């Protein structure tokens, strides 16, 4: 499955570094997305060859991209136009991995806004695979126009893009 046009219009990520295939649902306080990890993805060639599992950092990235979708929808609802800022990760905490994700697994990703304060949005993320919890994490995001943003979308700033 490839990403929906809505996803491509909301966040700057593109294959091979796009880890959300579709938006399942959205509310004013969160968003649910889905991603199928395909066996032919390049990272499986080197991450436990012969017994591949999805790297935990990429599972986190899928949650962050889902948060980026949520934040972009929220920013657009507030009147910002596409390209007028990007979500940047400010803090990651309480990451818990409960079970691995294998090639072929379709995971559901849910992000929920806990609080917004001082230019930061605190969120929680839950990833499930067939109803079984895969991972949970708490993190903070700031919506910013990064300094030193180049025309190609690269940033030299200290914060990480979602």
For the segment 78-117, what is each residue's pLDDT rounded down to a tens digit? 888 877 888 899 999 999 999 999 999 999 999 999 999 9
Length in residues, the chain: 162
- CA gap 13, 19 in Å, rounded: 9
CA 115 to chain centre: 18
* Other residues' Cβ atoms within 10 Å of the Cβ of residue 136: 17
Structure tokens at 162: 């979602």
- Residues annotated as catalytic (active site), given as ranges: 47
- CA gap 96, 56 in Å, rounded: 10
For the segment 129-156, what is each residue's pLDDT rounded down to a tens digit? 999 999 999 999 998 875 655 544 444 3
Domain limits at 32?
5-161
- Domain of 147: which CATH number? 3.10.129.10
- Domain count within the chain: 1
């Amino acid at each position: 499955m490839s990403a929906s046009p809505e996803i491509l219009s909301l966040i700057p990520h593109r294959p091979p570094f796009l880890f959300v295939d579709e938006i399942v649902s959205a509310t004013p306080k969160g968003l649910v997305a889905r991603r199928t990890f395909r066996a032919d993805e390049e990272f499986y060639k080197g991450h436990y060859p012969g017994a591949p599992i999805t790297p935990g950092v990429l599972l986190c990235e899928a949650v962050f991209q889902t948060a980026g979708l949520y934040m972009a929808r929220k920013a657009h609802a507030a009147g910002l136009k596409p390209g007028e800022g990007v979500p940047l990760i400010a803090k990651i905490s309480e990451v818990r991995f409960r079970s691995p994700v294998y090639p072929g697994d379709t995971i559901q990703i849910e992000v929920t806004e806990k609080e917004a304060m001082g230019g930061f949005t605190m969120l929680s993320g839950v990833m499930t695979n067939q109803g079984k919890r895969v991972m949970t994490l708490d993190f903070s995001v700031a919506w910013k126009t990064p300094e030193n943003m180049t025309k190609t979308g690269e940033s030299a700033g200290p914060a990480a893009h979602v």
